[in-house]
Amino acid sequence: MCGLIGFLSADGSAAQVAPDIDAALSQMRHRGPDEGGVWHDTDAAIGFRRLSIIDIDRSHQPLPYLNDRYHLLFNGEIYNYIELRERLTRDFGAVFQTGGDGEAIVAGYHHMGPKIVRELRGMFAFVIWDAQERVLFGARDWFGIKPLYTYTDDRGSFFASEKKSLLALSGDRPVDPRALQHYLTLQYVPEPASMQEGISRVESGTLFTVRPGERPQVQRYFHPDFAIKAVPDPDKLYREISEVLEDSVAKHMRADVTVGSFLSGGIDSTVVAALAKRHNPKLLTFTTGFERAGFSEIDVADESARAIGVRHITKVVTAQEMMDVLPLVVWYLDDPVADPALVPLYFIAREARKHVKVVLSGEGADELFGGYTIYREPISLRPFELLPRPVRRSLGSVSSRLPEGLRGKDMLRRGAIDIEERYYGNARIFRPDEMGVYRRFDPAVSYMDVTRPLYAATEHLDGSTRMQYVDLFTWLRGDILVKADKMTMANSLELRVPFLDIDVFGIATTLPTSQKLTKETTKYALRRAIADIVPPHVINRAKLGFPVPIRHWLKDVMYDWARELMTQSQADQLIDTAAALRLLEAHRAGPHDYSRKIWTLLVFMIWHGIFVEHRIRPAVPEPTYPVRL
């Protein structure tokens, strides 16, 4: 888990750019406080910050291979690196100088070419400079666990783990109005865009090659197919799920440092922690929550920790801590993500880093095994689909005339429209008819621009599975994995996600909807598979979803803070400050809840204050963590 930056010159000026690469690398020292380095030749300049996890005393990067023919920059972990190294030695006579996972990538590329990417079981973003062929090759992992930004100008092409490092090289970039509109709808900027023009992201599941003076050539190597199968023997299926999860967790425990685990009140993190305990009897687990009733899983997590026999550490987050740290959190994010759960995640990562250097977590289980209750929607709305389209549309018209907050209003509205129009991910902040707060709203720009190709690729699937597919490309990589990476790396902590393993994915995508969703529960097959692993009080517990009490806090303890942020913001050419303030007042007066909309605006205003106005300057702490924990 580290930070990389690479530059491929268009005119042989890499040596002149190398000092700037070194300076830009300092912007992400938190990603790799243990060591760093820069290397260059005439065409390429590459730099690295390392968080040492495997083969600590060697595997320094930029990593040379074959007498400096290749140089590797690699952020992530390859969990099958031991097996891969053995295979490369046996089949190709590969020779290794280190004991790490990074050398398996570059050796694999030398002997197998680009197809090595499909052999990697793990999380990764990497680039390899081939000094003999004068070509840069790179890839990003299957699901987008690790980030990789890119920027191209007359000097050449740049790649980096964090956008702020590219901004140090590119200078200020204007806000992309299209990206901002998507953000206001989705609460994040969907890939491959970023919030600023000219800087984009290498998409998950893609690889690329680029030669000096040319644009990168990108190819998708991973198309997440849902090959749904009948289940003649459910018990056999549940055993297979259990076995593949156990294997994934075992491989995710590979490290030369201490590995802990996040533990909430849900089944996802609980099964990960319970399986991890089998490999580390002294496992430490961590959770966070709030003092307000209904907004904390600390008690349930404590009970789970006692049941599986692990030492458990908790962190209670206050409203004042949320307000104090939010500018720093937004700085770490690079682009705004309006998920309030980011902040408590930052705090528990900071607490965990005092004790361990790596944590496991349960991200991805909901997207793979059908864990969101909204995935039931196509089932509940099926009667609407039997109605003639004119009748459905008339029901939508009736819905628009019903009072806001009336029970059934939103069901009528959503039942009147097709799934392609009504579902665009787990977060739905500002609808098009609510975009008066955005001064540059363009009705020709739609969230459907993001989801249309995803729905086109899944016409053969049922509605619930199509929603899962959409989330793999939107919610998962736009929100869930961004906050997981950014908040843990802000604290120089590596986070690993055993559910987002390509072998786990392989079995999850065979499940029919009946094995994912029932009238009583979600993730049905997963719950059955892990019934003997997790404590009984967790197995059928409803998903809490890590709620943050901003609805209540914005009415009282956070009100003055939010109002001051809005009035001081200089983003009025984009966001109508007066409209934002009216929304805040309406929320305070009640009865309607506008907290998520307000939070979305606040996060953007803070981001704008940091990266555009340069008015807000968070005090970024220096990483002071030891190499070994």
Q: Is 50 part of any domain?
A: yes
The answer to the question of residue 135 being in a domain is: yes
Q: Which of 369, 375, 376 is nearest to 467 (CA)?
A: 375
Rounded-to-integer distance, Cα 443 and Cα 436, Å: 11
What's the number of CA atoms in the CB half-sphere (13 Å) around residue 73? 31
Residue 607 is inside which H or E element, if any? Answer: helix 595-611
Q: What is the CATH number of the domain that holds 112?
A: 3.60.20.10
Helix axes 102-112, 81-92, angle to 10 degrees: 30
**Cβ neighbours around 469 below 10 Å, total:** 21
pLDDT at residue 543, rounded to an integer: 64
What distance separates the 2 farthest-apart alpha carbons in the chain? 72
Would you state the structure tokens that stand for residue 455, as one six-digit string? Answer: 């729905």
Q: In the chain, how many domains are there? A: 1
Residue 74 lies in a domain: yes
Active site residues: 2
Residue 6 has phi, psi (to 5 degrees) of -140, 150
149 - beta bridge partners? 160, 201
Residue 25 covered by a domain: yes
The three-state secondary structure class of 112 is: helix
The C-alpha atoms of residue 49 and residue 4 are separated, in whole angstroms, by: 6
What sign does the dihedral 110-113-115-117 (CA atoms) show? positive
Report phi then psi at 37, rounded to 5.
-170, 160
* pLDDT of the residue at 429: 96
Residue type, 255: A
Q: Is residue 292 part of a domain?
A: no
Taking the C-alpha atoms of residue 543 and residue 428, their distance in angstroms, rounded to an integer, is 19
- The reported pLDDT for the residue numbered 388 is 80
Q: How far apart, in whole angstroms, are the C-alpha atoms of residue 244 and residue 503? A: 7
Alpha-carbon separation of residue 65 from 105, 239, 321 (angstroms): 10, 42, 46
| pLDDT number for residue 383 | 81
State how far the Cα of 152 lies from the Cα of 157, in Å rounded to an integer.
4
Residue 365 located in a structural domain: no
Residue 14's domain comprises 2-220
Model-wide pTM > 0.85: yes
10 Å Cβ neighbour count for 320? 12
Does the residue 207 lie in any domain? yes
What is the secondary structure of 264-317 as a DSSP string? -SSHHHHHHHHHHHTT-TT-EEEEEE-SSTTSB-HHHHHHHHHHHT-EEEEEE-
The pair phi, psi for residue 168, each rounded to 5°, is -65, -25
For the chain, helix, strand, coil in percent to 5 are 45, 15, 40
pLDDT less than 70: residues of the chain: 1, 293-294, 542-546, 624-629
Q: What pLDDT shows up at residue 627?
A: 46
Tell me if 166 is assigned to some domain: yes
How high is the pLDDT of residue 629? 54
Neighbours of 96 (CB within 10 A): 14
CA atoms within 13 A on the CB side of 95: 4
Cα separation of 259 and 262, whole Å? 10
Q: Could you read off the pLDDT of 94-113 as tens digits, one per residue?
A: 999 999 999 999 999 999 99
